[in-house]
């Protein structure tokens, strides 16, 4: 069976959190970083890593004629990954190690495979194994990242040599933020999310992502509860991007914003209370990623993020924590 080096991803640390010295050993908490998106497991099996994202800013405007809300977000990929193993097969077959994940037409991987095959006039004869690590209904973009990874991987496996701009056209059909995952690691996404402008800045951060296993939010429902602010300023993403090169993560705390928080916390007050409790515990801003339900905090160093993880798991035994850093691709 395929194994990958994702020790610590999606699992609680084995370090004791009930002793004072556990906090000081926080930097020993492992995290996983893959330095490339694509690799070959053997001469037939392609491995694609799909990185999760967080939203450093997220602004929502009024509904457009197509019934989507206007959208602007500065998004960044992080070192939390799903893995896709893609190999030739007699027909299209998708499997997943998480039996709650659909593996038919309802899965974006399946749809991405058939869409690219149709457009390229090839048969979608591949077996795709999804090793799921990014939690679902969390606002971390796992499904979209997997769809983008599928387009990227099949473009390689089928030797299509399509440029990214052509793949982005298919990505826009699949979902609003699929295109971002073809263009990371950081970009400003506008329109309904499908217009992607890469941000070429050198900016490193560490983060803690927190997820309650019983809380999941539907993106559609969060948007239905969104109350439009007529004063919405659609320049925050660009302003933040310009600020990053000269700022440490702790210096951009005042500018982290997500317009969907109010509606998400209205739908699930427990999530809002959890955010408040985490901010009190960690003494740093805690933000919702996307439409939720994952929460995140940023830190200047790995040690700070690891110590924050230990504190959270000591106080909230039911939560899952991931120590992450900015992804490089």
Could you read off the pLDDT of 68-84 as tens digits, one per residue?
A: 888 999 999 999 999 99
Q: How far is CA 63 from CA 8, 37, 227, in A?
A: 40, 35, 11
Q: Which residue has the higher pLDDT, 184 or 74?
A: 74
Q: How far is CA 268 from CA 215, 216, 218, 264, in A?
A: 8, 9, 11, 6
Residues 150-165, mean pLDDT to the nearest whole number:
98
CB 116 within 8 A of CB 155: yes
- DSSP symbols for 262-317: HHHHHH-HHHHHHHHHHHHHHSS--EE-TTSS-EEEEESSHHHHHHHHHHHHHH-T
Q: Which residue has the higher pLDDT, 24 or 288?
A: 288
What is the predicted pLDDT for the residue at 5?
44
What is the predicted pLDDT for the residue at 22?
40
pLDDT band at 1 (very low <50, low <70, confident <90, very high): low
Residues 173-184, mean pLDDT to the nearest whole number:
95
Q: Which of 53, 168, 211, 236 is catalytic?
A: 53
Residues 101-123, mean pLDDT to the nearest whole number:
98
Q: Calculate the average pLDDT of the chain.
A: 91
- What is the per-residue burial (b if ≥16 Cβ within 10 Å, else e) of 246-264? eeebeebeebbbbbbbbbb
Q: Which of 82, 83, 146, 177 is catalytic?
A: 177
pLDDT band at 320 (very low <50, low <70, confident <90, very high): very high
What is the predicted pLDDT for the residue at 273?
98
Query: Domains along the chain?
Result: 20-325 (3.30.230.10)
What is the predicted pLDDT for the residue at 232?
65
pLDDT band at 8 (very low <50, low <70, confident <90, very high): very low
> pLDDT digits over 40-58, tens only?
999 999 999 999 999 999 9
pLDDT band at 37 (very low <50, low <70, confident <90, very high): very high
What is the predicted pLDDT for the residue at 26?
57
Q: Known catalytic residue: 53?
A: yes
Residues 177-189, mean pLDDT to the nearest whole number:
96
The percent of residues in the chain predicted with pLDDT above 90, rounded, is: 84
């Amino acid at each position: 069976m395929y194994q990958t080096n994702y020790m610590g991803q999606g699992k609680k640390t084995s370090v004791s959190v009930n002793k004072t010295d556990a906090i000081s050993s926080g930097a020993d908490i492992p995290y996983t970083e893959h330095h490339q998106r694509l690799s070959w497991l053997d001469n037939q099996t392609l491995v694609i890593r799909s990185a999760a994202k967080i939203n450093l800013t997220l602004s929502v405007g009024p509904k457009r004629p197509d019934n989507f809300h206007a959208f602007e977000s500065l998004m960044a990929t992080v070192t939390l990954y799903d893995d896709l193993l893609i190999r030739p097969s007699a027909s299209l077959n998708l499997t997943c190690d998480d039996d709650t994940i659909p593996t038919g037409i309802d899965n974006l991987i399946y749809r991405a495979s058939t869409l690219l095959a149709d457009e390229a006039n090839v048969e979608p004869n591949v077996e795709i194994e999804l090793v799921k690590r990014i939690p679902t209904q969390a606002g971390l973009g796992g499904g979209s990242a997997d769809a983008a990874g599928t387009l990227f991987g099949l473009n390689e496996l089928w030797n299509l040599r399509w440029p990214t701009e052509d793949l982005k056209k298919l990505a826009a059909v699949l979902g609003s933020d699929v295109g971002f995952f073809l263009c990371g690691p950081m970009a400003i996404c506008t329109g309904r999310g499908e217009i992607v402008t890469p941000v070429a800045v050198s900016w490193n951060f560490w983060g803690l992502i927190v997820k309650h296993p019983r809380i999941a939010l539907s993106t559609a429902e969060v948007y239905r509860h969104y109350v439009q602010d007529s004063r919405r300023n659609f320049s925050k993403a660009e302003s933040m991007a310009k600020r990053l090169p000269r700022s440490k993560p702790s210096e951009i705390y005042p500018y982290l914003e997500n317009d969907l928080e109010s509606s998400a916390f209205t739908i699930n007050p427990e999530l809002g209370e959890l955010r408040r409790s985490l901010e009190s515990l960690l003494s740093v801003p805690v933000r919702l990623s996307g439409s939720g339900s994952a929460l995140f905090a940023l830190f200047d160093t790995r040690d700070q993020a690891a110590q924050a993880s230990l504190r959270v798991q000591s106080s909230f035994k039911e939560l899952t924590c991931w120590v992450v850093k900015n992804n490089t691709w």
